[in-house]
Structure 1
Amino acid sequence: MSVSVQQAPTAALSSCQTLRNPSGPRSQGDPNTTLLTRSPPPEGDELTATEEEVEVEGDKQTEMEDGKLTEEEVANHLSSLGRSATGLHHIYQFLSLPRQNLKNVSILCHYVHLQKLELPYNRIKDLSCVSHMPYLIMLDASHNELSEFFGFQPPKNLKEVNFSHNQISAMKDLSAYASLSKLILDYNSFSEIRGLEKCSSLTHLSIAHSKISRISGLDNLPLKHLCLRGNLIKKIENLHTLRTLQVLDLSSNRIQSLSGLQNLHFLGSINLESNLIREIKEATYVHDLPLLRELNLKRSPVQEQPDYRLAVIFLLHRLTHLDEQAVTAEEKVSAVNKFDPPLEVGAARDHMTHVVYQHMQPQVIFDSTLPSLDAPYPMLILTGPQACGKRELAHKLCQEFSDYFAYGACHTTRGPYFGEEDGCDYHFVLEEEFQNMIRMGCFVQTMQYGGHWYGLSREAIESAAREGLACCIHMELEGVFSLKNSYFEPRYVLLIPTSTKEYISRMKARGLYSNGQIDTAVSRINLYVKINKERPGFFDSVISSDNREEAYRALGQLVKEYLGLEEQGAGGGEHTRAAPDNTQPDVSGEPPAAEKVEVSSADSFSRNYWNKVQAGLTPQKTSAELASIHRKQQMVREALMGKSPGAYTQLFKRSVHTAPSLLAPHSQPGPSSSLNPNVGRPLPDRIEDSSSEESRASSGLSMHSSAGALSVGSPSDGLDAGAGPKVDPLDISMLGQNLESTKDHTESGLTPDAPRSAPERVSPTLTTSPGRPGSNAKPVLPPIPSGRKAAEFGPKP
């Protein structure tokens, strides 16, 4: 028997699918299709149809057992009918023969028009037939027994080749494959990458699970996807020229560092699973990659680090997937709040920590610094970057104005610098002791800077307050944010260097700071400037610290205006204290001249500053609010006059103190004053009894300390300290103001409800508070009053 092939007019049709049935529909009207036909058997050698089919099937089975590809099998697996490269004929472009146990595919030499050839999962060792396919674009010969690398003449349009899972051990020069764009060589035995220098179109290269120990031979390739998974690579190197690389897979290697990826600015995905990366700080090498979105560090020692995930998310805030898990917005916020919280967040946490620990301790009343209703305890805070002269100016200020200020020494865990004294500049403690103090609720605010803890203890403020002095403290910006959350309302003065060069030279001259510390300090100058620019009123005053003497002169001038001592300092040659509070006013009821100067200057300073801030930030009080305030004042006056003692007696009922008061106010001389021992005529019995009863009842809310001495407009300013056993009145400025007003009307024969012919005259020594201390509703504090030592308020001989 013989089998003949009917040839088409041109050789171009040899790659068309052959048909078993020549009379089928594909042969009719299709002159360009090659048909496989049989020649008629010669005479005398006729075979039945059944015998012929058995013979053909037997031949086919024999060929397949030998692994030889037949035309019949080719015909069964051709697909994708289309036009030839010349466009003149219809041909089948794709041939796929997976898992056919093929060894010999030499018959494919006649199928010259194939564009895609897939021969995976066979036993092929020779692919020389590909040399006859000039139009071939895609070749898949994976999972075979190839040992030769590209053992065929290069088709000029070959773009994608898959030689994975073969037995190839060496790469050769592929300069002739200029169109090659995708090359997959996984699971072979390569030990070196070579021969790809001229592959100017190669964008996808995968050589996974081989024996490569070093990355090389990839210079200036236009790679976008590089996979070197499962090799013996220990270091990321020679990738800096891959400017277009987007996806990098180096999993299952022996890499210990991410160094070498810094300049790959198009890199969006990095897979380093199952490597030897141990430190979180390695992520800093890829911190500046703007397009990095995916990072995989699974099964690496770095995952054992505490807070590993949040730390990596914080360093690489652009990530959308970490270790094949999506990065949520909540995780990004948590990472920032944990490792670099905004100043407000850190201050809020610090404040909450100290409040909670203070409440956990046994109840302690800090008598001198409790917030009052008329004015908070006065404090002065000097803030600015490191080594700007805060501490030096604070010491100098407290020495010159020793009657008004006392230095508040903070606690720190760092060691003392040259010349620093324990207890004078700082309280130097160990970190363990510092943490114990936090848990004991000893601090008002704490912060970390330069790896050390700093904290302002309540005792440091109390020690100054017990002496009747305002506290002067210096701290960094974080401490200012924390202190603003407390009920203290200090004045904040910013000391800022304006010459960076001079600031750096001064720090270097001290010889106490490393280059890193100097760089950090310089970088924080812009932070202070930004806060001052974006938050008007955050600092009460800003002073340049380039020249320390000029800075102190400016600070001193500011404090004199603050205390109302400017005119006194000019007249006397040196600053003097204001007139003692026990000085009696003249017969006309006006305060002494010195006192008037002090109060007028201080009130003017505060009033001007308050008006500026009030105009831009704080709404004016409505008529309803003013009416409410007036009603409350009326109730206070009635209570003090004894017209409604029941409710107030129950409200302020406390144990009676018999010790003489340190805060005895001065009363105006007159026939109706019963509180001045020099005046012989007492008030009527009813008024005397009710007033005394209310004073004794309210004394339970006042502390036997110097707090009143530091409050502006204290109602105690009108009593004589030597009047015998008396008790402290309420520390309420409005109450004191209305008490004086009530006394004036009582002397003139008017009652609180009687009509008034003229506006009431309020004592100039009293100032009204714009808001309750600690509510952050009062942007401007009252001036620091005249400091008085506690001993000066004792009974007179």
Structure 2
Amino acid sequence: MQNQVPKSFSRLPGNTKEASVGYFDFIRICAHTVSPPENPLGSQENLLPASEGAEEGEERSVEDDGELNEEEVAKCLHNLGPSATGLEYMYRSLSAPGRNLTDISILCSYIHLQKLELPYNKIKDLSCVSHMPYLLILDVSHNEISDFFGFHPPKNLKEVNFSYNQVSEMKVLSAYFSLEKLNVDHNSIREIRGLEKCARLRYLSLAHNRISRITGLGNLPLKELCLRGNFLRKVENMDTIWTLQTLDLSSNKIQSLAGLQNLQLLGSLNLEGNMVSEIKEATHIHDMPLLSELNLLRNPVQEQADYRLALIFLLQQLRTLDQQEVSAVNKYDPPPEVTAARDHMMHLVHQLRQPQVIFDSTLPSLDAPYPMLVLTGPQACGKRELAHRLCRDFNDFFAYGTCHTTRSPYFGEEDGSDYHFVSEEVFQDMILEGKFIQTMRYGEHWYGLSREAIESVAREGLACCVHMELEGVRSLKLTYFEPRYILLLPMDREGYGQRLRRRGLYSQAQINFALSRVDEYVKVNKEKPGFFDNFIPCDSTMEAYKALGQVVREYLGLEEQEETDCSSAVPENTSVGDSLTDGRSKGTQPAQGADQTDPTEDLRGSGLPTEKAGAALGGIEREKSWSLHYTQPLNRVSLTAPGSIGQQTLRDCASSSSVVPATGDGPPDLNEENSLQETPARSGRSSPQGMGVGLNMDALDIPGQVHNSDRLIGTQDPDHAPQTPQPSSPGGMTESASARPGSNAKPILPPIPSGRKATTRPK
């Protein structure tokens, strides 16, 4: 049989050397749109692919001999259009899937084919492709081909599919310079070779072969590479494929991700079914800015705790992990906790880059955090006014910590008193210099608490009182400071809104935002018990300050000291040991984990009068009982400071606790004359109970001090306590020669040590 179509078929738009149609013939054919052109092979159905119109006998004949004939070709041709030269119209595509074809030599005459699809047949010979110089796409998957590219190369061939065949070896494809996509899945190839000259190859798939090493890729401009289901144990020789965007290495035996570092354009990485067992392997792909999809299913690494969270933390650019979407909330809409954590890390890193010094707020014991008081609440709830008034009335204990802001001052605000008003450029420079502890952005302006604001207060020996919004509280809770947090919240939303309008400083949008913030504070207070230490309604400023003063007096232990003063008188026939026994009989025990040192042993031998010793011992017992209920940072220091403390310090503490009166209606009324007579050195030697401060730390560096820590441990049986004063140690402490500025004017809080400022230190 000759490989030509019959003459009756030559008038149709064909694809053989003879079957072509001129321009005028094509116009004539297109004019008869109602009645299709004559079909010499029968009815119109014969022009379509094999369908219901085909006869059973013809179908059976094709299946028996497996040879493609002219009738079948006529059924499989489609896509009528201009030829590659543009001078003729003809069928450009042929598709004959699933026909059990073994002989397709008839296609040698169809030189104008641009797309040839022959999947799911039994073809072994592709020599007919050598006669198709215009062929662009070739699909011969699911056949029995063993010869890789067994034909002369069409110069424009772009896509080839050899999957599911019997190819065992790759040949050099230097002549296929136009090849862009090559699929050789499910063959028996053991080595990648012959692709070095394919300068346009974008897609390469060698899945389910027998490849054990990645070689032969050279400088290919690949964008997609699939090596799924091979015998790979490591990633290698991929440094030069920098254009790769999608890589599939699933179902191999890879244990490490080393070798992927230079793939900076990689966006999708599939490692399902490998042997990756360590999360740290993700560090090899940490610097890939475009990696958005990662699949590590069926790897041992998934058995590790917090595997998914750890990977998301290391690879924050991921959008899909293990075929599940990763929420982009951490980058585009971060929750408040994430924002606070980033703020804290930023300031910590910038601060560590600065020269390190010992801060004035650093206390000598880890159990003694620097005391701070934080007032928080929504905008214009009165927290700044309450903080100023509190620091004015309790000026023996608190000083106001002035924050920085980038907004302009409101009417009546003073720079340096209410805020430090700076430009945004100065504010950002301060961040880079590590000067802030926490910052937050509210509206269009920045607010921040600087370390100097705290240190300036600590240098005066006072506790710092600041105010801030909820975002600042979240950030401050991540630092080593452990303040008391008091929530000021307006309960009357309508009255709060009217208060904002009367100020005339805010737009309606700002007022609505401030009102919505009330709900956020309520939600946090409800869902996180203990997040705030106290809650005070602030609809009335006077009532709010009255409640605030009561809370602060409880923190400071001023009411406890007032009770101590009232009950300081001890009957003449009652000894110090009896008072101690009565105090202990109440069953109060120190908080679990607190310092177990018993300062009463030193008070018995301090030589104090009976009345004052009894009052001091009673105050100590009440302090122990009070600390069971208030274990927050402001009162975590026991009366016995860490280290070795002599009897003189205890004597000062006992005497000072009986001369610091307090009233329930206002700040303590200090008697300077009496207190100075009772306490010769005031630099941190005495402090009210409850703030977490009990003794003077200056004594730690005073010459002549005897370090006798064994004597401070309360190991004696309370039932056999000595009834008579014991002589003081011959090496008792002397008074401090140098005190901090202002220490001679008022009892300071907390006991910030000044001994470190001494020029000489005793041996």
- TM normalised by structure 2 equals 0.49
Q: Which has the larger radius of gyration?
A: 1
